[in-house]
């Protein structure tokens, strides 16, 4: 397995492309516009520059990594001759189903199709293809070049051979793959996202403020960042989407999103990506931004 295609040049997609390219794989990075691809490549280049500055890699390593990446705005052209395609598009079921239908038509019968989804059913995605045994989840963690965990999610029909191939491949990237089964939220987000939601509930109920909640969890539980800051980092819209997937999948009220989270997303307060969430990032400072209007 040498030729990898990655669909989506955003945060996760460019990180996945970076990791494979740095490990010597030939990578085709695919997105809908040249502008999106340019932003993705710029991010990869900046991240490589940081690694050079920290003497983790050489300038030659950086040059070789970038030379391993080609860009495409067409899925059929970009996935041609790929051994593995990894979809890293927006966390939207209808979009992913549309992409996998295209991939089924554009790839060979032996090409493995993976999705970087953090919560959506692998089995449901695989069902729109003619080769569900070759469809699998590869849930990378952000930032991809640094974080070592990869959740490997088996759909109902994913074969043992496909699973073993992807587990071994993940190890060649220097990652630690963990095999899990296909249930809403898998393992990482089934545990993490309800904790973030409970933190938002704690704020919503007036138990404590943003910085107080985050300080308790950082100092008391040794978390590297507080849950509300982490929610901003992930994206409040992403957190809401994952909660909705779990709530709809389990029909259990413990997964129902906090009304404050819903209101903030509706108001466009999405965290770092929008410049404001539980903290204000507009002037490179952190200040509480939640007000009574969201209660």
Catalytic residue list: 118, 139, 151, 189
Residue 197: C-alpha distances to residues 7, 31, 121, 268, 289 (Å): 29, 32, 21, 18, 17
Number of Cβ atoms within 10 Å of the Cβ of 143: 14
Q: How far is CA 128 from the centre of its chain?
A: 22
> Rounded to the nearest 5 degrees, what angle is found at the Cα of 89, between the Cα atoms of 88 and 93?
115
Three-state DSSP state, 119: coil
274 contacts: CB under 8 Å, gap ≥ 6: 268
Instruction: Indicate left, alpha or beta for 139 from its phi (over 0: left) and psi (-120 to 50: alpha).
Output: beta
End-to-end CA distance of the chain: 52
Three-state DSSP state, 274: helix
How many CA atoms lie less than 13 Å away from 247 in the CB half-sphere? Answer: 15
Q: How far apart are CA 170 and CA 181, in angstroms?
A: 17
Q: How far apart are CA 124 and CA 92, in angstroms?
A: 13
């Amino acid at each position: 397995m040498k030729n990898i295609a990655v669909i989506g040049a955003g945060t996760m997609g460019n990180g996945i492309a970076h990791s494979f390219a740095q490990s010597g794989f030939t990578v085709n990075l695919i997105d809908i516009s040249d502008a999106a691809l340019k932003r993705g490549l710029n991010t990869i280049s900046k991240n490589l520059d940081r690694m050079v500055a920290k003497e983790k890699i050489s300038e030659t390593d950086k040059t070789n990594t970038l030379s391993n990446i080609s860009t495409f705005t067409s899925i059929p052209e970009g996935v041609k001759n790929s051994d593995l395609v990894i979809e890293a598009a927006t966390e939207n079921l209808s979009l992913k189903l549309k992409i996998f239908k295209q991939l089924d038509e554009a790839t060979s019968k032996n090409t493995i199709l993976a999705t970087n989804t953090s919560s959506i059913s692998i089995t449901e995605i695989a069902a729109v293809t003619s080769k569900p045994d070759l469809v699998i989840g590869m849930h990378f963690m952000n930032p991809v070049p640094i974080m070592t965990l990869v959740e490997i999610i088996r759909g109902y029909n994913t074969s043992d051979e496909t699973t073993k191939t992807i587990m071994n491949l993940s190890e060649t990237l220097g990652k630690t793959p963990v095999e899990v089964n296909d249930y809403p939220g898998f393992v990482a987000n089934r545990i993490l996202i309800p904790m973030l939601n409970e933190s938002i509930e704690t704020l919503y109920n007036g138990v404590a403020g943003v910085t107080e909640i985050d300080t308790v969890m950082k100092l008391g539980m040794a978390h590297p960042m507080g849950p509300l800051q982490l929610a901003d980092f992930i994206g409040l819209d992403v957190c809401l989407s994952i909660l909705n997937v779990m709530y709809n999948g389990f029909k259990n009220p413990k997964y129902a999103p906090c009304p404050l989270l819903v209101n903030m997303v509706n108001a466009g307060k999405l965290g770092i990506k929008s410049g404001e969430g539980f903290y204000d990032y507009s002037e490179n400072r952190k200040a509480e931004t939640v007000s009574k209007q969201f209660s």
